[in-house]
Structure 1
Amino acid sequence: MASSDVPMTDATVQTIDATPQADQHISHDGKEYTTIKEGLAHILVPHDIPTSTDPRLSKEEHAKQQVFYNPIQQFNRDLTVLAIKTFGLDSIQRKLKKHEQFKQKRERTRQRIQAERAAGDTTNRGNGETEAPTTDESLSKKRKLVVANGEEGAVHPKRQKTLDKYGAAEQEEEEGGDDQDDATGANGGRTPWRPSFRILDALSATGLRALRFAKEVPFATAVTANDMSQNAVDSIKLNVKHNKLEETVTAKTGNAIAYMYSYCDKKGYDVIDLDPYGTAAPFIDSAIQAINDDGLLCVTCTDSAIFASHGYLEKTYSQYGGLPFKGEPCHEGGLRLVLHAIATSAGRYGMAIEPLLSLSIDYYIRVFVRVRKAPTDVKLLAGKTMLVYHCESGCGAWTTQFLARNKVLKNKNGDPMYKHGFAQGPSADQHCEHCGHKTHLSGPMYGGPLHNVGFIERVLAQLNEVDKQTYATTDRIEGMLHTALEEITFGTKLDKSNGGKTQALDPLIPKSDPAEVDHHPFFIIPSSVAKIVHCSAPPLAAMRGALRHAGFRVTMSHCKPGSIKTDASWKDIWHIMLEWVRQRAPLKNLPKAGSPGAAILAKSNATGYTKTPTADIAPAQVPADPAPEAQSNGENSGDGSATTPAKDLPAYLNTKFEVNFDEKLGKDHDRGKYVRYQLAPRENWGPMSRAK
């Protein structure tokens, strides 16, 4: 029986001041509520609203509940809390180090000033003057007067600037800045200095995210929950009181954009979370104004009909400054459009972004971006911004075109420096080189890496210690993060020891190369590629094995099951597919003349290759042939692929490597069993109507 169906009695009803528990009945100001627990936080839902945390709740009941609690988004909230904790450990460590450096510098300055004061007193006594002891403030004023009169023993004007700067730092310290000294406690003792860590939940609704941040991020010093609706803010205040977080969480009523712009000229937040209904584009510029240097920006966009569809491309451009990618990898293109919008907005203010984690989840996308004040890195942005020439009406191939070039040079000290120039273009013809159909433009969009390897590893390390009852979506988080890690590294950095668990690492997140670009940004689906040439689809293991046998790196994308992400070019992919047709899946009916498949098949009659290594083929790319007897008889080689006598074989556009569909090579038995892709738990899974 649902908690909302439990009859209310005097014995079961408690006040708002009661200790929070799940399925608790609360009475406050003549209204009755039921408590829902997520993570370590509890929120109050009116008693006549369904309170199931089961994501399989019917669409009608879910529509009633979603204004107060949306179980579909628990994965988003769990992942966000873990990401903020990971980033926060890095931020706190940097602040502590900076504070220690400040204290050491201040102590050296204090000692130097005391030595100068002592030298000045000695000079004055040598002139026969007798001075009464003076305070630091009066002594500073007297020295300025001495300088003005040009008297002996005066402080040099340049040195006086240093003294004034030191005095200003001391004053800032006394006013309670981040670099203040240990404070005096109530009993006269010294309280250790604690770095601030402030979080803004800009579009808070019931305040569930803000409550979880305050409860589950132990070093959070202040959390602000903002919403424009007064009813929502009243609900936030009620939930804050019930969770006993009045000292940490502050509820604000107002427009999120106006509120964030109010931090243009003052210290802002270390973390800003933007989770609107629909697009986050209107909030990005103001969020850049309110975020501190080296802060974390968490952005959700649920308007997949805009960023991942070609039906409203004019709307896509007005929101994100680029045109959408059409085809299977459209959601990955959406990720890059959102990152492009954030990067260009930040670049106007000399801020550079570094994507730490960028995920396409269910019907929305979620990105975690580190924002730094780094004008030098901003100069690299044009060289990391790309256009995409996409043959979406033909074979589906694409070519990327970066807007500029970042050329690495050496300065006189031998350190790397960058020279920025125009890129040579265009990188593709008006018609596709493979099938001859017209190509269309997508972008501009972000062309750098989507993830930071060090960040993902540190979030995974946290999962070894978290309580699975608190973080109910741990299995899915672990699976998606492992897939994202393989996606960015092509599986080369995975530690197979310790049962696949990530070891605890230093909290400092390594900075990725700000000039790195992703030359192979999108995945392919073998079944979709097979449709072009009208053949049966190769198994994933066979396709992966053929690519690896040819020396290419292969992994999967987190965006879609059955995907293949590789550094092979489309020319190499079509060469492998035509070999699949020749070796394993002969065509029963040829594609129609003029179709993309017919054009690609016609190109396989180009210059062939031989199975024996030649000067044009690296020996590492061509494995040793089977025994001569097996070759002459045309026997099977043992790995499932038929051998062919050594002779010239058809090659696609002069592509010279042998194709071996080695399914054993294509399987990763040590990848571990993870929940990499979640199935929709009910029909019509996706965003509901906007709350009234």
Structure 2
Amino acid sequence: MGSLPPSQGIDTSTFPKEIPSEVWYFGKRYKIAREGTAEILELQGAEDPAPARNGPNSQSVFYNPIQQYNRDLSVLAIRAFGDDLAITRRARHQRRLEQLAKGQQRVKKRKRDHTEGTQEKENSASKDTKNWEVTPATSVGSLAATTNGNEERPSQKARLSENGENHTNAQTQEDPLAVPSLTEPGETGMREADDRSPLGDEETKTGRTPAKPPAFRILDALSATGLRALRYAKEIPMATSIIANDLSHSATASIKRNIEHNNLADKITPTTGDAIEHMHRAASRMSGGPGQYHVIDLDPYGTAAPFLDAAVQAIADGGLLCVTCTDAGVFASLGYLEKTYSQYGGLPLKGAHAHEGGLRLILHAIATCAARYGIAIEPLLSLSIDFYVRVFVRVHRSPAEVKFLASKTMIVYNCDAGCGAWSTQYLARAKEKKAKNGDTFYNFTSALAPSTTTHCEHCGFKMHHAGPMWGGPLHNPYFIQSILDMLPSLDKSTYGTIARLEGMLSIALHETLEDPTISDLRPASPLDRPVPTTNAAARSNHPFFFLPSTLSRVLHCISPSDAAVRGALLGLGYRVTRSHTKAGSIATDAPWSVIWEIMREWVRQKSPIRTNSLSEGVAGWGIMQKDRSRMRVVRAQKQLRVALEKSYLDGLDGLKTEIEAALYRISKAEEGQVDEMEADTSDDGGVGLKNSTMKSGKDTGVRKRTGSHPSMLEIVFDEELGKEPQGKRMVRYQPNPRPDWGPMNKAKSDHQGIINV
């Protein structure tokens, strides 16, 4: 914006200055790229020889503007974590002050008791002296000779007691209730913060205001241009020191240049070196020492697997580990399953839910690395975004919580070549029990044998093995809500992806089927943690999702609307939600036998198919063989078979009576008059109706019959019931933002080594 002429009589100093788009450093021209409140310098034109040699799309230092969403999310996630940490620090400091006050009160009480005891001794000694005065003369002389030498001691001790001082150094050392002084003799100011505390607390136990803010150390281990570190320094107020590390010398030179350009030399320290070695050096310090970090960010080009072992050791107790993996072709595809296992310790899934399986594989890799050192992980937010995944994990140095890892690790049996159904199998069980004193403890036992056979019970195709992978929750709803609470107050010009942040986080908030209520997320007391820890024994009993369009492709029928399928599930009393990883997804706690019965009823009621559209041997043919008319015949055959095989029949009359009774029950079943409680429906893996009960659905108030065979359920495709409540329009699933969208080419450098971005 240009300035007005001085003749106008207007103070032009208040007008905003035109923001430059280029800058010169040491004779080279750089373009200024802005993101958030930070600016980075990109070498322009012929001055940069690297593009000419490496191709038009190559970079000397990696920078991908598509990942602004990743960086915006990271800034807000670390701020939410920092707010929680600040509250826990204040609460811990308050507890220390209370303990100190109690200790001082105990010391004062002990001193008073000792003073009273000394006074009683003096009074007793005085009485004895009076008694000595009335003794015979022959005794007085001898007693006076023994007491005159120590005559001044009692009064001297009394004066010391009145002043409230300790009597001897030995007595102070032996006093079990004595509280040592927090300051050295002659110290006038507050002691420097105790960096050896688990989270590097800078508070002291004196209650005075600290001279400097509490330490909040961040490591950007693979920094590239340093943009992430720049934004953390400018947009995270509690950050006190940030290390921007990279292996490449050219990347470090770029980081230094950007730090100087943004005037952040007091907060950011650039380092050149291997990230793994750097984190191992930090981990070699004593636990909680100044070398450990409260936040470690791993954002490599490709997989973060090589850095996980060092990262979990270098992070402080209760710290935040942020991990990005961009190798979706490995963790979400069967194309390189041998590489997937070597990097993440598990096999990938095939199907629409492959990216959620990739998330769980990465969390499993982090959890197993941490468990070796007695560290447990707690996923706060786990997202599949575009071509990569981003997870935020809080770590706890707790061997007791590590014991739950086996019971939260699952194997998945996947019908990937057939109908797409799956079955999960946890490696162990954690059973909650009550001790005699009322305390809760857990008993860990082995899990039962595999939960499925080698062939799918629904379509008959082979089941394939995936995992082991993380079977616990993917998110902490309190953490997500903390980030959502920040969004209305943010500047859209600084955070350009606010709309997408709100949409994706809102889906993730409602994604968990185990706890669908979110109305009471905020703690009642401000002293409580805004992001309380989740139960260490919690696990996802209903992972993954399905797509109605994919199921329709199996049956060769027209796809039902999402509202129709949701309405059918809600009408039966099951919970439904959606997944952030795929548009059109439906996650539910209904078993696959019910899901496929809903699809068979969709074909019968709404979208009939031709009889020859499904040939024998395909997955859809196996599914449709279990339709309701077919199951009635199977049940009738079984009832007749049971009647013929009864051993107590004496003669033809008894056999004829049993057959007639069976035929009568079959005819009444056709008319709908038979009591469902008598129906035998043990086929198709059903539980049967003999022990069925009525249960109220929490989401809709619809009563469902648990234990009912799917073919006995009344399925209604109620689209009104299945419609999601109309609220604020949000960007839940973003399309590709531009034609050259993607991970981009890896950066190349003239220096030895390849840049770890």
| Alignment TM-score > 0.5, same fold | yes
Residue number among 468, 484, 508 corresponding to 2:530 in the alignment: 508
Instruction: Give the match for residue 209 of structure 1.
Output: 228
Higher RCO, Cα 8 Å, sep 6+: 2
Kindly state the Cα deviation for residue 502 of structure 1 after the two structures are TM-superposed.
Answer: 14
Instruction: Give the match for residue 484 of structure 2.
Output: 460
Kindly state the Cα deviation for residue 196 of structure 1 after the two structures are TM-superposed.
Answer: 1.6
Specify the code of the residue in structure 2 equivalent to 1:45: E
Cα distance between partner residues in 1 of 2:23 and 2:293: 34
Kindly state the Cα deviation for residue 509 of structure 1 after the two structures are TM-superposed.
Answer: 0.6
Matched, 1:527 2:573: no
**Contact 1:33-1:47 within 8 A present in 2 as well:** yes
Query: Cα deviations across residues 539-573 of structure 1 (Å, max 9, x unaligned)?
Result: 11111111111111111111111111111111011
Which piece of structure 1 moves more, 532-541 or 303-312? 532-541
Kindly state the Cα deviation for residue 116 of structure 1 after the two structures are TM-superposed.
Answer: 6.0
**Contact 1:21-1:37 within 8 A present in 2 as well:** no
Kindly state the Cα deviation for residue 102 of structure 1 after the two structures are TM-superposed.
Answer: 2.3
* Inter-CA distance 167–599: structure 2 relative to 1 (3 Å threshold): farther
Cα distance between partner residues in 2 of 1:567 and 1:236: 49
Specify the code of the residue in structure 1 equivalent to 2:80: T
**Contact 2:302-2:326 within 8 A present in 1 as well:** yes
Matched, 1:409 2:403: no
Matched, 1:282 2:306: yes
Matched, 1:42 2:39: yes
Instruction: Give the match for residue 619 of structure 2.
Output: 596
Specify the code of the residue in structure 1 equivalent to 2:243: T
* Inter-CA distance 296–34: structure 2 relative to 1 (3 Å threshold): same
**Contact 2:381-2:476 within 8 A present in 1 as well:** yes
Instruction: Give the match for residue 86 of structure 2.
Output: 92
* Inter-CA distance 183–587: structure 2 relative to 1 (3 Å threshold): closer
Query: Cα deviations across residues 274-311 of structure 1 (Å, max 9, x unaligned)?
Result: 00000000111111111111111110000001100101
Specify the code of the residue in structure 1 equivalent to 2:546: I
Matched, 1:26 2:4: no
Kindly state the Cα deviation for residue 63 of structure 1 after the two structures are TM-superposed.
Answer: 2.9
Kindly state the Cα deviation for residue 372 of structure 1 after the two structures are TM-superposed.
Answer: 1.0
Matched, 1:259 2:278: yes
Cα distance between partner residues in 1 of 2:62 and 2:205: 41
* Inter-CA distance 20–528: structure 2 relative to 1 (3 Å threshold): farther
* Inter-CA distance 21–480: structure 2 relative to 1 (3 Å threshold): farther
Residue number among 704, 721, 730 corresponding to 1:674 in the alignment: 730
Cα distance between partner residues in 1 of 2:594 and 2:741: 37
Give 1:565-584 correspondences, 5 Å limit: 565-584=587-606
**Contact 1:520-1:566 within 8 A present in 2 as well:** yes
Kindly state the Cα deviation for residue 621 of structure 1 after the two structures are TM-superposed.
Answer: 8.3
Identity of aligned residues (%): 48
**Contact 2:29-2:47 within 8 A present in 1 as well:** no
Residue number among 514, 536, 540 corresponding to 2:558 in the alignment: 536
* Inter-CA distance 452–539: structure 2 relative to 1 (3 Å threshold): same
Query: Cα deviations across residues 221-279 of structure 1 (Å, max 9, x unaligned)?
Result: 11111111121112111111111111111111111111111122332111111000000
Specify the code of the residue in structure 1 equivalent to 2:71: R
Gaps of 5+ in 1: 1-18, 52-59, 147-152, 623-650
* Inter-CA distance 558–208: structure 2 relative to 1 (3 Å threshold): same
Cα distance between partner residues in 2 of 1:205 and 1:277: 10
Cα distance between partner residues in 1 of 2:508 and 2:277: 35
Instruction: Give the match for residue 640 of structure 1.
Output: none
Specify the code of the residue in structure 1 equivalent to 2:254: S
Which piece of structure 1 moves more, 436-445 or 226-235? 226-235
Cα distance between partner residues in 2 of 1:428 and 1:237: 57
Kindly state the Cα deviation for residue 86 of structure 1 after the two structures are TM-superposed.
Answer: 0.6
1:93 aligned counterpart, secondary structure: helix
**Contact 2:38-2:262 within 8 A present in 1 as well:** yes
Instruction: Give the match for residue 585 of structure 1.
Output: 607
Specify the code of the residue in structure 1 equivalent to 2:620: G
Give 1:161-560 correspondences, 5 Å limit: 174-177=191-194, 178-179=200-201, 191=210, 194-264=213-283, 265-266=285-286, 267=289, 268-489=292-513, 492-493=516-517, 508-560=530-582
* Inter-CA distance 192–174: structure 2 relative to 1 (3 Å threshold): closer
Residue number among 547, 559, 583 corresponding to 1:561 in the alignment: 583
* Inter-CA distance 370–141: structure 2 relative to 1 (3 Å threshold): farther
Cα distance between partner residues in 1 of 2:81 and 2:335: 37
Cα distance between partner residues in 1 of 2:80 and 2:300: 23
Specify the code of the residue in structure 1 equivalent to 2:411: L
Specify the code of the residue in structure 2 equivalent to 1:241: E
**Contact 1:23-1:34 within 8 A present in 2 as well:** no
Specify the code of the residue in structure 2 equivalent to 1:37: R
* Inter-CA distance 536–202: structure 2 relative to 1 (3 Å threshold): same
Specify the code of the residue in structure 1 equivalent to 2:38: A
Query: Cα deviations across residues 379-409 of structure 1 (Å, max 9, x unaligned)?
Result: 1111110000111111111100000001111
* Inter-CA distance 269–621: structure 2 relative to 1 (3 Å threshold): closer
Cα distance between partner residues in 2 of 1:31 and 1:504: 56
Instruction: Give the match for residue 647 of structure 1.
Output: none
Kindly state the Cα deviation for residue 470 of structure 1 after the two structures are TM-superposed.
Answer: 0.6
Instruction: Give the match for residue 57 of structure 1.
Output: none
**Contact 2:411-2:427 within 8 A present in 1 as well:** yes
Q: Rg larger in 1 or in 2?
A: 2
Query: Cα deviations across residues 503-527 of structure 1 (Å, max 9, x unaligned)?
Result: 9997621222221111221111111
Instruction: Give the match for residue 689 of structure 1.
Output: 745
Matched, 1:606 2:603: no
Kindly state the Cα deviation for residue 183 of structure 1 after the two structures are TM-superposed.
Answer: 12
Cα distance between partner residues in 2 of 1:334 and 1:282: 17
Query: Cα deviations across residues 595-615 of structure 1 (Å, max 9, x unaligned)?
Result: 221122112212488878844
* Inter-CA distance 428–684: structure 2 relative to 1 (3 Å threshold): farther
Cα distance between partner residues in 2 of 1:537 and 1:444: 33
1:417 aligned counterpart, secondary structure: strand
**Contact 1:458-1:504 within 8 A present in 2 as well:** no
Cα distance between partner residues in 1 of 2:509 and 2:730: 13
* Inter-CA distance 347–671: structure 2 relative to 1 (3 Å threshold): farther
**Contact 2:482-2:530 within 8 A present in 1 as well:** no
TM-score by length of 2: 0.74
Instruction: Give the match for residue 753 of structure 2.
Output: none
**Contact 2:514-2:541 within 8 A present in 1 as well:** no
**Contact 1:611-1:658 within 8 A present in 2 as well:** no
Query: Cα deviations across residues 78-99 of structure 1 (Å, max 9, x unaligned)?
Result: 0110111111100111112212
Cα distance between partner residues in 2 of 1:405 and 1:217: 41
Kindly state the Cα deviation for residue 154 of structure 1 after the two structures are TM-superposed.
Answer: 7.0
Kindly state the Cα deviation for residue 676 of structure 1 after the two structures are TM-superposed.
Answer: 0.5
**Contact 2:225-2:258 within 8 A present in 1 as well:** yes
**Contact 2:100-2:205 within 8 A present in 1 as well:** no
2:489 aligned counterpart, secondary structure: coil
